[in-house]
């Protein structure tokens, strides 16, 4: 065997070790990036994580064992070929996935949801298993190449894992800066360089570096280490799920957790003292349980922290994750070198392979069995016990089982998810958990606040999914506007059910066939059983399909007069695909000839750049697209063919004896006044399912100040046509233009008032709201804003000679359903002994807020 260690030069094997560290970088960069790709395909983050981890671990395990019998003449040259091949495959994989996805779309019409997911999973695992298998073979080849060198397994494994930790962090920078495709290309180019450098170093190794076989340790040792691997990957999946809910709430958390996980393993393999082997199982299990117990501490810290930048947020949250998880991963890293030393270093390949295969099976077990049946908190507890139990069994340390019994006692109270008021003490302190449902798709909570109002949380997220009266109205408006725009809607489809309150807004429309698609089984149950009092029992009057919205639209052949896209957090992994050109195209293909698709957006979730991308994507599919503003929500209206909106709305309302409920008692002109203009035409990026944008740009924008609601509203104001142009576009007849103009001007003034309020100019905001009310007193948002202002100035009313009763009655004259004024008058009349008047106000309050605890308790 040749050497280049003469004259003070570094031995060649140190160059190989550094190359293998770079190989670890590219491998983990691929893993995080491919996981992101699968999350886009599935629309569910945890599926992408589990499938990628499963494919990688099964491939690495089987590949490393298969490499034992490969009699490569020059192992390092073979390793170089593998690195180059994997890099080229990484460049080709997006195209392969895109073609496979097109085939899956064609097949989806013949498959139910579970079969569709299964077919997607088989396709994904098949495509990822091949490169992972090659990487596993590469591990064995490198071990063979350095077999007769002083380089130890612990150092090689540690350096590779440090590289992997950095590779897991690379997408956190690459995705927002380079995008997904650019990040893959950078990782692949680095892989090509690693292959070229490995080929260079292969000149210094001879065929003698390759052993025909490597001795296999006892099967019992392999099975025990496979069990530790299963527990480790179950723990990783659990951490990704838990910290993904409380931290960045995006796919970036996978990179953070993997980096922390691998850093601990690297440090443990490099520096852990061998004499502490006997306590490793108890330390690892105890550390995992301690982290689970401290989860509310981490969550409350994240909730209360302010971060100056995106990367500052990543760094700080990575530090808190490391604080709770690093002790465990240090122990896990020490295990392989210790076992390899016990069974001779040559057996390390077998141990590594068994551990990886066990890890792949553990990830599947976590997603398919443990989480759906016991929950994520229980998954972490079970994983901690599995790691400790298998570790103790391998050490034959009888005294350690006493420690295991202690861990078992500690794990029992930690098997359930902490209550929401502990996880989110600022936002939801004082609340109580009413309902919890967890599966591999999502974690669904219904919580009750002290005032009796209920909130639906999905993965600890809220999107106006509340029984609060103001939230109920804005949710119902999602159905009201969409249905009002069609002259005679018969079939309506809701893409997303949530609380069912949006669907409740459709109840006044006659002869309506309602359908809804909702992926979360917990949300379906909550809508039926926990929000029926505020959604009017709409869910029981509809067909509800538990399905992915994309799969449902690919599979069904039904056409709808109106399709309504619900609100969601666009920066969550997989959610951006619901705002893609492809998804908008699916919706249009299922519209009747005069059908309408309405996609709702929460403006406080966007910056100008991301909103522009969505607008371009929508206009690409619907060239005649229009915009409406309702509160802080923007409705993108896509008609299947050009539509005279004013005429369609008038014809719709003429079908009804009483059009008040259909318009929310605001009238036709209020709704037409919320028109905001055509979706603007512009050049630039669009949201594509395979070249996404907003998932990467929004998390960064949230921290760098780009998500600025006042600036976004001002930007939209610049695209707001004048009243005459708006009337022409909507087809408002000349005799109706005065009524339309007043409503249109009122909506414009309201928007300017909100901009002033956000920027701190309260006096200007109040003045504009008063002017808007004079223009259109029927607009609920204007009346509520004015009523709120009057409630805050009750003391000033007394100074002007008004009694409290008179001032409150004036508030109700402005906004008859103002809950605060109704409550105050109820208390006032009750204190004065006017029982009948008090009861009348209480009943009015109960009609506005059916779940109000105070009003209900007085029954």
pLDDT digits (tens, 9 = 90+) for 261-286: 788 777 777 665 555 566 778 888 89
Q: What is the model's pLDDT at position 51? A: 76
Cα atoms found within 13 Å of the Cα of residue 789, Cβ hemisphere only = 19
User: Could you tell me which residue, 262 or 626, shows the higher pLDDT?
Assistant: 626
C-alpha 43/C-alpha 364 separation (Å) is 18
pLDDT of residue 217: 75
Inform me whether the pLDDT recorded for 6 exceeds 50. Answer: no
More confident residue, 396 or 503: 503
**The pLDDT of residue 695 is above 90:** no
The model's confidence at residue 495, banded by pLDDT at 50, 70 and 90, is: very high
| Residue 522, both tokens | 């917990």
Helix/strand/coil (H/E/C) assignment for every residue in 222-260: HHHHHHHHHHHHHHHHHHHHHHHHHCCCCCHHHHHHHHH
- Within 8 A by CB and 6+ apart from 253, the residues are 240, 243, 244, 247
Residue 345 pLDDT > 60: no
**Closest by alpha carbon to 197, among 361, 18, 365?**
18
Q: Please state the rounded mean pLDDT for residues 512-529.
A: 94
Q: What is the mean pLDDT of the segment spanning 98-110?
A: 66
Percent of the chain's residues with pLDDT above 90: 47
pLDDT over threshold 50, residue 209:
no
> What is the per-residue pLDDT for 458?
87
- Containing H/E element for 630? strand 626-630
The pLDDT of residue 751 is above 60? yes
Position 113 scores a pLDDT of 67
Higher pLDDT, 5 or 827: 827
pLDDT at 98: 73
Task: Check pLDDT > 70 for residue 67.
Answer: yes
How far, in Å, CA of 77 to CA of 81, rounded? 6
Distance CA 686, CA 614 (A): 7
Please give the Cα distance from 116 to 104 (Å, whole number): 8
- Provide the pLDDT for residue 208: 45
216: alpha, beta or left? (left if phi > 0; alpha if psi -120 to 50): beta
CB atoms within 10 A of CB 71: 11
| Residue-level pLDDT at 8 | 41
Helix (H/G/I), strand (E/B), else coil: 637: strand
pLDDT of 118: 75
**Distance (Å, whole) CA 20 – CA 15:** 9
Exposure of 796 by Cβ count < 10 A (0-12 exposed, 13-18 middle, 19+ buried)?
exposed
- pLDDT tens for 318-339 read 888 888 887 788 777 777 667 6
pLDDT above 50: residue 4: no
How much is the pLDDT for 2?
45
**What pLDDT sits at residue 236?**
86
Higher pLDDT, residue 127 or 102: 127
| pLDDT given for residue 214 in this prediction | 62
- The average pLDDT across 397-414 equals 87
Rounded mean pLDDT of 60-81?
A: 83
What's the confidence (pLDDT) of residue 859?
65
For residue 161, pLDDT over 90 is answered with: no
Q: What is the reported pTM?
A: 0.88
Go through 417-455 and write b for each residue having 16 or more CB atoms within 10 A of its CB, e for each that does not. bbbbbbbbbeebeebebebbbbbbbbbbbbbbbebbbbb
* Cross-strand bridge partners of residue 436: 445
- CB-based contacts of 342, cutoff 8 Å, min separation 6: none
pLDDT score of 484 more than 70: yes
pLDDT of residue 815: 93
Beta strand pairing status for 443-448 and 432-438? Answer: antiparallel
Query: Which residue did the predictor score with more confidence, 51 or 499?
Result: 499
Mean pLDDT in residue range 244-251: 70
Tens digit of each residue's pLDDT (9 = 90 or more) over 375-393? 999 999 999 999 998 888 8
Number of H helices and E strands in the chain, helices first, is: 36, 11
CB 615 within 8 A of CB 651: no
pLDDT per position as a tens digit, 182-201: 888 999 999 999 989 888 88
- What token pair was written down for 700? 């960064």
State pLDDT tens for residues 802-833. Answer: 888 888 999 999 999 999 999 999 999 999 99
Q: How confident is the model at residue 711 (pLDDT cuts 50, 70, 90)?
A: very high
pLDDT at 760 over 50: yes
Q: Is 641 helix (H, G, I), strand (E, B) or coil?
A: coil
Residue 397's pLDDT band (boundaries 50, 70, 90)? low
Lowest-pLDDT choice from 50-54, 128-132, 341-345, 638-642: 341-345
Q: Give the pLDDT confidence score for residue 800 in this predicted structure.
A: 72
CA atoms of 476 and 466, how far apart (whole Å): 12
pLDDT tens by residue, 565-608: 988 878 766 677 889 999 999 999 999 999 999 999 999 999 99
pLDDT at position 534 over 90: yes
Residue range 116-125: mean pLDDT, rounded? 74
Q: Find, among 186, 160, 196, 208, the residue nearest to 80 by Cα.
A: 196
């Amino acid at each position: 065997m040749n050497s280049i260690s003469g004259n003070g030069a570094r031995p060649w094997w140190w160059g190989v070790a550094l190359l293998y560290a770079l190989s670890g970088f590219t491998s983990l960069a691929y893993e995080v990036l491919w996981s992101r790709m699968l999350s886009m395909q599935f629309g569910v983050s945890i599926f992408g994580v589990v499938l990628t981890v499963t494919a990688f671990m099964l491939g690495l395990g089987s590949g490393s064992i298969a490499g034992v019998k490969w009699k490569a003449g020059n192992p390092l040259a073979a390793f170089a070929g593998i690195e180059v091949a994997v890099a080229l495959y990484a460049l080709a994989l997006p195209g392969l996935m895109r073609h496979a996805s097109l085939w899956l779309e064609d097949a989806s019409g013949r498959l139910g949801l579970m079969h569709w997911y299964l077919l997607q999973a088989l396709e994904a695992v098949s495509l990822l298993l091949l490169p992972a298998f090659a990487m596993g073979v590469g591990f064995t080849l490198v071990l063979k190449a350095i077999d007769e060198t002083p380089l130890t397994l612990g150092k090689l494994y540690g350096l590779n894992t440090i590289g992997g930790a950095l590779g897991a962090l690379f997408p956190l920078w690459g995705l927002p800066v380079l995008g997904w495709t650019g990040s893959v290309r950078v990782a692949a180019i680095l892989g090509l360089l690693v292959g070229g450098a490995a080929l260079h170093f292969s000149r210094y190794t001879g065929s003698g570096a390759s052993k025909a076989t490597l001795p296999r340790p006892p099967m019992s040792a392999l099975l025990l280490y496979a069990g530790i691997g299963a527990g480790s990957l179950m723990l990783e999946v659990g951490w990704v799920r838990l910290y993904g809910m409380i931290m960045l709430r995006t796919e970036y958390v996978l990179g953070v957790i993997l980096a922390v996980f691998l850093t601990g393993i690297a440090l443990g393999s490099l520096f852990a003292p061998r004499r502490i082997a006997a306590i490793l199982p108890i330390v690892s299990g105890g550390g995992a349980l301690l982290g689970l117990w401290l989860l509310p501490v981490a969550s409350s810290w994240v909730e209360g922290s302010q971060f100056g930048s995106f990367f500052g947020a990543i760094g700080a949250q990575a530090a808190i994750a490391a604080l709770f998880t690093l002790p465990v991963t240090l122990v896990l890293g020490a295990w392989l070198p210790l076992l390899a030393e016990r069974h001779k270093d040559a057996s390390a390949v077998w141990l590594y392979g068994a551990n990886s295969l066990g890890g792949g099976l553990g990830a599947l077990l976590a997603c398919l069995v443990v989480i759906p049946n016991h929950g994520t908190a229980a998954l972490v507890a079970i994983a901690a016990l599995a790691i400790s139990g298998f570790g103790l069994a391998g050490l034959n340390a009888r005294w350690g089982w006493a420690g295991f019994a202690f861990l078992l006692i500690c794990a029992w109270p930690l098997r359930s998810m902490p209550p929401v008021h502990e996880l989110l003490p600022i936002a939801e302190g004082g609340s109580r958990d009413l309902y919890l449902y967890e599966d591999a798709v999502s974690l669904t909570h219904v919580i009750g606040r002290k005032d009796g109002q209920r909130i639906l949380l999905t993965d600890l997220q809220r999107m106006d999914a509340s029984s609060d009266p103001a939230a109920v109205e804005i949710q119902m408006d999602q159905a009201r506007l969409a249905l009002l725009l069609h002259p005679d809607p018969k079939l309506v489809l809701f893409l997303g059910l949530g609380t069912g309150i949006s669907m409740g807004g459709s109840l006044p429309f006659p002869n309506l066939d309602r359908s809804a698609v909702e992926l979360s089984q917990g949300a379906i149950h909550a809508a039926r059983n926990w929000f029926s009092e505020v959604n009017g029992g709409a869910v029981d009057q509809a067909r509800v399909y538990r399905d992915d919205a994309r799969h449902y639209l690919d599979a069904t052949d039904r056409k709808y007069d109106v399709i309504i896209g619900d609100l969601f957090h666009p920066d969550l992994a997989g959610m951006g695909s619901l705002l893609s050109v492809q998804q908008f195209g699916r919706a249009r293909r299922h519209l009747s000839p005069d059908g309408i698709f309405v996609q709702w957006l929460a403006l406080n979730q966007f910056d100008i750049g991301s909103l522009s991308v969505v607008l371009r994507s929508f206009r690409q599919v619907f060239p005649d697209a229009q915009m409406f503003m309702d509160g802080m929500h923007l409705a993108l209206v896509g008609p299947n063919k050009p539509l005279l909106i004013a005429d369609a709305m008038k014809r719709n309302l003429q079908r009804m004896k009483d059009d008040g409920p259909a318009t929310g008692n605001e009238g036709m002109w209020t709704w037409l006044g919320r028109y905001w203009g055509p979706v603007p035409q512009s050049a630039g990026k669009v949201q594509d399912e395979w070249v996404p944008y907003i998932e990467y740009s929004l998390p960064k924008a949230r921290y760098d100040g780009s998500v600025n609601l006042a600036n976004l509203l001002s930007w939209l104001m610049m695209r707001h046509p004048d009243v005459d142009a708006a009337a022409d576009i909507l087809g408002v007849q000349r005799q109706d233009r005065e009524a339309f103009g007043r409503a249109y001007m009122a909506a414009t003034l309201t928007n300017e008032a909100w901009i002033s309020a956000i920027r701190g100019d309260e006096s200007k905001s109040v003045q504009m709201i008063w002017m808007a009310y004079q223009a259109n007193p029927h607009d609920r948002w204007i009346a509520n804003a004015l009523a709120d202002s009057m409630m805050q100035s009750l003391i000033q009313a007394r100074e002007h000679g008004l009694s409290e009763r008179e001032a409150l009655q004036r508030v109700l004259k402005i906004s008859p359903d103002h809950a605060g004024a109704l409550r105050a008058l109820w208390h006032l009349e009750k204190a004065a002994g006017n029982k009948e008047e008090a009861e009348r106000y209480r009943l009015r309050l109960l009609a506005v807020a059916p779940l109000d605890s105070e009003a209900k308790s007085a029954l």
